[in-house]
Chains A and B, each alone.
Chain A
């Protein structure tokens, strides 16, 4: 955009400094995860220290295992159900649209705008009556509800981009709805499905509100982290270790999918 060398340097500096400032707390966190609590609590940040894996070992000792399993189960189950429900719904909102498809679409997104707190008491009471409190099941159900509207919007925007001629050609060739879905639509939107699934997985993995309100001991990783609050002042290095451990898979997935995620997040609203 600008050819003057001085401007180019300025842009590079802004780009690097800004990016590094955003990344700094994460890098700092990863660094502290290898320090002892005493080193991590020094008023002057230690850059040179003898690294230790004790914090990670302590996390395993403190019983992170079951929480990891629970988080994975909730993530996989809820994301799979979301895809199974969202793909046909997105089809009915784009390729063979129902009457008032636009209103239905806005109904779905409106559910994401409403305060979750306004519904949590009945959800708690009903879950309690059904014996679902402190179970993985209730989290799976809530995560499906949380991610479904988003998934429908994203998948719809990917289906919207399939050229009409392709679908017409399939119809002329006598492909039924189900057939066209299997052999034409699904292959074409597969990258979109992948980025939708990834985003749903990230939100499920990170979800805290339902976990803290509906579960106690049988729960997901965010609740495991809460345990460190009882450690008093000196918990930084332990939190850093667990935080690094649980953030790593999501961060790596996000790094790899950054391009396609953006396209999905635009919801097909803007190109």
Chain B
């Protein structure tokens, strides 16, 4: 399994466009920009909804209304972040597939955070129909915040665990 994964990573890293990304001082930051701009939309809107579920901040809108108004750009941000993230991954794929922080981020934390996010987004129509959110909504909002902070923590830990060479 790990040999197949490494072979796939090596193939991806050797593609022309992956080499183009990793080989230029200017292109790589533009790809990072794609990832970070998408994340700003994605994480920013996720946190805004979770804080509203928790009852923090202004209560001008219910959590249900906020969830509806953020929905389209929330997922637009997600897809921009995924595209940027995939390009960053492909530029150094063989390093990433052996990095424990990256594996925890992509294999455990992101799937968990995504599931909790989808539940929160769907259920906020019920939990957040009125100004005061149901208790379950508050716990789930807090759980999602913790999970996304975990994802960011794993992401910033990737250089610490970096194992050079393939």
Q: Is B a genuine binding partner of A?
A: no
Q: What is B's interface to A at a CB cutoff of 8 Å?
A: none
